[in-house]
Structure 1
Amino acid sequence: MDAVLPDVHMETHGEDQVRTRALQVRLQGAGTSSPPANGVPAEALLTSILAAVLGSLQIGYHTGNVNAPAKIIEEFFNHTWRSRHNASLPDHSLTLLWSLSVSIKDFGALLGSLGVKYLADSYGRRNSILIVNGLSVVGACMMVASKASESFEVLILGRLVFGLFCGLVMSLNPLYIQEVSPTGLRGAFATLNQVSFASGILVGMVAGLETVLGTEQHWATMLSLSLVPALTQYLVLPFCPESPRYLLINRGEERRAEAALLRLRGPTVEEMKEEAARTQGGVTLRRFFQKRSYRKPIVLVLVINLGSQLSGFNAIINYSTKMFQAKFLQAKYLTLGVGVVNVTFTLVAFFLMERAGRRRLLLTGFLSIAVCNLLMTVVDSLLDLVPPLRTLQVLLVFLLISAYELGPGPISWFIAAELFDQPGRPLAMAFTSMLNWGGKFLLALLFPPLLKVCGAYVYLLFMAVALLAFVLTWLRLPETRGRTFDDIAEEFRGADGILLHDKAGFNTFT
């Protein structure tokens, strides 16, 4: 566990400083050490980001496509069981098996997140995304094969394999995007990962409708559609540059870093040089949790991610059709409305990220989620007495989705990449992935029984989590918008006894 993973090359020695300075001079001479004056990102940068987020599109697709056709796939489970045992599955066993089928993807993602650090440091950010994309292809093929083989176990195993892909790529994507993006666009571009994820959920919801592919004949075909973005990624991403920060700081390959920068016009050499000068070598797992300057960022990542995942959003995404169908004849189309709202507000977050900042969006999101959960409890408790309130319940669901995607949803996935320095960043992203997918797994598995036990009061649990996340974010999170990685890390280095620069209104911890 404590074996030192690939060391980060230190840039404090004279020879390395000369090489870095030479690289800086060459790039400045070419006029490409910063983004173009007109603010338009380089074509290679946009292509790289869009190719990377095809992975999150696949994840969103397999999150949304099992909601509407749940009854049809459950019947497949029952049919398979009857053909083997000449008896139907008891209702409670079928419910448990379906909960396992939904949640196993998140459990696989939890396991997959353990490999983020190794892959990112050993093979690079871009190459690692390409490597793990193979898990998506294998998982999708297994899910498709489950119908032909008449085995629900193959479907569950396929979702587990696909889950391994989820845990890896949802950390590798933000890591790659943040390291290739200019500082002023870093948050907005990282939000595109969530936009793609939400778009995938919507496409999955549409594909799962009975009027599209969510039928007894075509549900296996529906599960195969994620192969389209997966294969597209293999065609495009190999021609995109590797992270120049990884090439220069981790590998010491200045010529390749120069070539990547010339194409991307993303982070400046000066920014990377400052960060490299602060680098103190590789970080083991034990060192990651023991280092004093990492303690506050670790707590912040813990609070923001668990606050996002355990605040009720994932329960609605996974079980909205079942929540609505007892009250509405067209429950599946209301679920489709959830997907539309989801995409709409991730786009709103994309445009607000560099204007409002991470801190303000998180605080607004968590407080709004808490209020929505409180009102959901009241409304759900009164539905039997006042049936017309069911329309208000739908509105509250839409508002909760909006609040989540306005801040906690997208920011929780990339905030760790901004709060940690280069040596700790891959481990921080692995930690982020474990928290996110662990929270999703627990909620997907426990929400149905919790709803039966607690009834409407289950939303009070979500409200308490959101309020806790709001308070700790308000007290501890510094704003990261428009600041370099080294600038942000400097605020936390005060915990190691290193003197902070005097920047008015900058230090959040005093």
Structure 2
Amino acid sequence: ENTLTILWSLCTAVFVCGGMIGSFVVGWLADKLGRRFTLMLNAGPAISGALISFGCVYAGSPALLLVGRFITGLSCGLFSFESPSIIKYFYMSGSMGTLSAMFISVGTVVSSFLGMKIFLGIENKWPILLILNAVPGLVSLFTFPFLPDSPRFLMAAKKDKNKAKEALKWLRRREDITNEIEEMEKESRNQGEECSLSKMFRARELFVPLIICLALQIIKSFSGITAILFYSASIYLNAGVAVDVVQYANLGTSFVTVVTGIVMIPLMDRLGRRILLLGPMLGMILTLIVLTVALNLKSRYPFMNYLSIACIIIYVVLFACGLASIPSMIPVEVFRQGPRARAMSLAGLASWISNAIVAMCFEIVQAATKEFIFLIFIVIMIASTIFVYLKVPETKNKTFDEIASQFKSASRESNGEIRTVVA
């Protein structure tokens, strides 16, 4: 049993390490090779990681499983932060940025469904789940060759206006693309040189949006969603749900995120990013408070178990409304082409590191705090809501160049105030 626990921990660790590396290099690869070719190239680690993981069973080699999980993590890191970017480049509408998070939820539902004992969640069938990791790679390998490159990549990186026009006409299915082409040309002129890591931290007009992007990724990881999902099974059991039915209840909870993601597509551009961050985050704080009270009073008042179930569903819905998708959209929206690759890489790294910290520390903290664990997340969410209110700008219906100019103007004003005080 100890050997299995160690192997499970190692599989998780190498997967996260692969994800960190993949997310860190994806921005650089995308700017050098293009979004389309990067996703096609990622088919290699996606397919090979799945095959190696699957082969470990027949080779009787745990080492192969570790290698396969590392390569799969590398692929996931590349996919997870490139998909919001390419969706944003293909569709000017910011609402389409929610598609990435929605399809991640779809993947979670499908994998949970297939992992049930009535399907593949048994000893002689679980390796099939590993080989299914090759599906995204196969899909990208056989579909992206027929798609054009990102018009913004062709305009800003390749300086090929004609190909950018052709790609944009193909995507929009119309001839009148004048406004979008003019906006791309303006961004291309103002993008500046590719930024080094040191410049990202030295230049205030880059440092402020970078901190916002990193903070949103950390907030997403430390929002308490992990604790909610961890507690869901025990809460369902306490409410009288049969043991065999709990897996279906958890599947239903995951399905809620898919439905919410679909609903959010038309609302993202109508309500804006700030409202869809601040509103749900305030609701999440209230839900965590009620859930903490319900968990500590469930032995005295049986109806508190049902209130706990309601809190779980409400919390998952609120999370899916904003924090599930917006943190991955913001790096694409607040940076010009020049520094965008570095910003995406750093945001991806922050996401994987913070997720790893939560995964490693959660059970230890939960064992010490029991039902009071949500108090920690309440404090984190209150501080996070204040940060979002004070620092995160609205990007709805704004071009890349307008948002970048906004940060640059704010930087100049701040520097002017500092010089005045010093004088």
TM-score normalised according to structure 1 size: 0.75
More deviation, 115-124/151-160: 151-160
Describe the superposition over 1:211-257 as per-residue Cα deviations: whole angstroms up to 9, x where unpaired.
12111221111232232342122111111111111111112122322
CA-to-partner distance for each residue in 1:350-374, whole Å, 9 max, x for gaps? 1211111111000112212222222
How many Å separate the matches in 1 of 2:68 and 2:237?
28
Q: Please tell me whether residue 264 in structure 1 is matched to residue 171 in structure 2.
A: yes
- 1:489 correspondence with 2:401: no
Determine the structure 1 residue equivalent to 2:114: 207
Q: Percent identity, please.
A: 29
Match of 1:161? 71
Q: Which of the numbers 190, 195, 216 marks the counterpart of 1:283?
A: 195
User: What amino acid is the match of 1:154?
Assistant: L
Q: How many residues align?
A: 406
Please, what is the CA RMSD of the aligned residues?
Answer: 2.3
Picking from 217, 221, 229, the partner of 1:309 is 221
Amino acid at match of 1:222: L
Query: Which residue number in structure 1 is paired with residue 386 of structure 2?
Result: 471
Aligned counterparts, 1:25-424, within 5 A: 89-90=1-2, 94-95=4-5, 97-102=7-12, 104-182=14-92, 185=93, 187-265=94-172, 268-317=180-229, 320-321=232-233, 328=241, 329=243, 330-424=245-339
Larger deviation, residues 273-282 vs 151-160: 151-160
CA-to-aligned-CA distance 1:116-156 (integer Å, 9 cap, x gap): 23211221111111112221112222222232233444334
- Number of the residue aligned with 1:460: 375
The residue type equivalent to 2:294 in the other structure is V
Alignment partners' CA distance in 2, 1:340 and 1:112? 28
Secondary structure of the structure 2 residue equivalent to 1:423: helix
User: Does the Cα contact within 8 Å between 1:244 and 1:258 map onto a contact in 2?
Assistant: yes
Does the aligned pair in 2 maintain the 1:168–1:433 contact within 8 Å?
no
1:44 equivalent in structure 2: none
CA change 1:462–1:191 in 2 (3 A) is same
Letter in 2 for 1:428: A
Query: In structure 1, what is the Cα distance between the partners aligned to 2:229 and 2:35?
Result: 29
Q: Is the 8 A contact 1:421 1:486 kept in 2?
A: yes
The answer on whether the counterparts of 1:311 and 1:465 sit within 8 Å (CA) in structure 2 is yes
Separation in structure 1 between the aligned mates of residue 139 and residue 277 of structure 2, nearest angstrom:
33
Per-residue deviation, residues 261-302 of structure 1 (Å, max 9, x unmatched): 221237711111221222221211111111110122122112
Change (3 A) 1:364 1:94: farther
The CA distance in 1 between the partners of 2:5 and 2:367, in whole Å, is 12
SS in 2 for 1:272: helix
**Cα distance in 2 for residues equivalent to 1:476 and 1:386:** 42
Shift of the alpha carbon at 1:319? 7.2
Shift in Å, 1:382:
2.7
- Higher helix fraction: Structure 1 or Structure 2? 2
**Which stretches in structure 1 are left out of the alignment for 5+ residues?**
1-88, 500-510
Distance apart, 1:347 and its partner CA? 1.3
Matched residue SS, 2:324: helix
Q: 2:365 aligns with which of 450, 455, 458?
A: 450
Measured against aligned partners, the alpha-carbon deviations of 1:68-118 in whole angstroms (never above 9, x if no partner) come to xxxxxxxxxxxxxxxxxxxxx24xx65565355445433321222221232
CA contact (8 A) 1:383 1:390 kept: yes
Question: 1:239 & 1:98 partners in 2: Cα distance?
Answer: 39
Deviates more, 1:434-443 or 1:318-327: 318-327
CA distance in structure 2 between the partners assigned to 1:173 and 1:428 by the alignment: 15
> TM-score normalized by structure 2?
0.89
Q: Indicate if the aligned counterparts of 2:283 and 2:318 stay in contact, CA closer than 8 A.
A: yes
CA 1:160 to 1:385, structure 2 compared with 1: closer, same or farther past 3 Å?
A: farther
Distance 1:277 1:296, change over 3 A: same
Contact 2:200 2:210 in 1 (8 A): no
- Structure 2 unaligned blocks of 5 or more: 415-423
Query: Secondary structure in 2 aligned to 1:497?
Result: helix
Aligned to 1:408, the other structure's residue is in SS state coil
* Distance change (3 Å), C-alpha of 1:125 and 1:408: same
